[in-house]
Chains A and B, each alone.
Chain A
Amino acid sequence: MNYTFQFGVAFAQLPELLKGAIVTFELGLLTFWGASLIGLLGASLKTFGGPVLRGVANAYVIFFTNTPALIQIYFLYFGLPEFGIRWENFTCVLIGLTLNAGGYMTEIMRAGFLSVHKTEMEAAETLGMSLLQQIRFVIVPHIAKTIYPALANFFIVILVMGTSIGAVIGIDELTGTAINISTENYRWIEMFVVVAGIYVVVTFVASLSLALFGRWAFRVKAKVF
């Protein structure tokens, strides 16, 4: 009970921590876009593919959403070198997280696909739209509007839950930077309280901007709280 807090020490490291926060943001953004592409592909296969392709997409989703992202990353980091494939830490985390998030993203996108009703397509056709126009003016806006809240929410999940995993194999994102500094100055509690605060602020700003953007672009009410 005789611990004295020294938050000054932690605040002095703010510039380093903010550098870490930028890495967190980069990693989150890259993962999100990669996972979106996988999700788009996976959802297309599950919706329009034949039995074989559907099976492949299903197996991918089931496997990657039922095993820990950390184990998937360890597999790439500790396992692949045995086949002579040696990636940088950042690459391992990025690919591992992207594959993991891609599984969840497939399900989100598929829900969007399923929400397009046949009648809307027929209505678009009777208006004399070509297939490309139908996709451009009917399908994409509809899907975007339907899945936007889920996407916005998932982006925050990746930003928070996902990227901090990088710390485990030594990526200097926000959590990793905090670990590095703490091992030198031993102010673990103060450092992690400050880091927790940064996460709260960063994700809050991200949620708020995503909600405002969604309202402006798709007129959806994404919840901030």
Chain B
Amino acid sequence: MHHLEVRNLASAYGPLKVLEDVSLTLAKGEVMALIGPSGSGKSTVLRVLMGLTRPVSGTVLIDGEAIDYGKPASIRAARDRMAIVFQQYNLFQNMDVMRNVTIAPVKIKGRVRAEVEKEAARLLEKVGLADKHRAYPEQLSGGQQQRVAIARALALKPEILLLDEVTSALDPELVNEVLDTVRALAAEGMTMLIVSHEMAFVREVASKVVMMDKGQVIEEGPPKQIFDAPRTERAREFVSKILRH
């Protein structure tokens, strides 16, 4: 049984089809990367999974259990098992780092504050921000904010972590500190679904790459196949374009 399975997912924005017949499977501990040109629907897949965009049709299963995106309780259950990190970090501007990381476990999951804070301190140390507990998001660089956002997602103890272009908003010199954090998570065996434009990074860290275009999956396989010997015409075109850069 697959850990996460997406079957024939479709989504639309008004009359505009954003996703069409997207199917994916992800095993426990696997790192899958979604790549493709801007507007190909990669981020929408993550938004649908998290219940931010309603799918038109299709099924999402976690451990064989279908999520009903029409039912708030079912969406809440799904959000208990998956966490997402956004391109723009979206840290709560009115809270310091520690509170950003602890608020959901304490207030929403009702766990004991002292225990959560101890865990949060460990997570912040792991992402290299042990000295920033009391800093506010506005006082941090983009790279630091994104690492806090990752710690915040991990504090929810998700089974699957979704990363939505986590380095796209960062200045070039800050990209690596965030990628290092993601590398470490991959090495620990975290199950991840990554949307990224960093091809070298994808090649290194992903076990499976899915290429999308115009809302559809056009090819999927191990990184070696996708980057070195793409089988479809459209995939070849995209790969040659990104490799020219």
Q: Do chains A and B touch in the complex (CB under 8 A)?
A: no
